[in-house]
Amino acid sequence: MGASPDMLTVAHLRKSFGRIVAVDDVSFTLERGQLVGLADRLNDRVATYSGGMKRRLNLAAGLLHDPDILLLDEPTVGVDPQSRNAIFENLETLKRRGKALLYTTHYMEEVERLADRIVVMDHGRVIAEDTLDGLQACVATSGGERATLETVFLTLTGRSLRD
């Protein structure tokens, strides 16, 4: 019978994930824990973690094998502002280290903060791809100010509600 991940400590999870991705270096794991602000909680059970801490733990688990490309699907959903900011700072650090981030989100301000290139999808199809400046230049606004990415998105996809 297997144990629920919530009942394990991060140290136990690291050992399990480390075996899967062939990482056995504890110092490497501690570095990941420090990167996501969990180094002092590695021996605590995951059940004691807040939602934001669990999101940061997910990020650390994704970094265990030091990938060149990191796939992130809505990494800040349901987290407090402090955890959200910590996640952003971690991702910005990874970008500076040369890591590629493929990031999906419905929060346009996150895209504005993190993305070098933006792909807009609608009903499963790519409808636009460019830099933030390039997408903003495609949408006229009153008063000559730059359109927000949310305005660009709504202009491209329409304002009607989705199923």
Q: What confidence tens digit (pLDDT) does each residue in 28-71 have?
A: 555 666 667 777 887 888 888 888 888 888 887 787 778 899 99
Amino acid letter, 100: A
pTM of the model: 0.75
Helix/strand/coil for 43: coil
Q: With CA atoms as reference, report the closest residue to 94 among 31, 3, 137, 155.
A: 31
Q: Angle at CA 5, nearest 5°, toward 9 and 99?
A: 80
Average pLDDT, the chain: 83
Contact 117, 130 (CB under 8 A): yes
Domains defined for the chain, CATH in brackets: 5-116 (3.40.50.300)
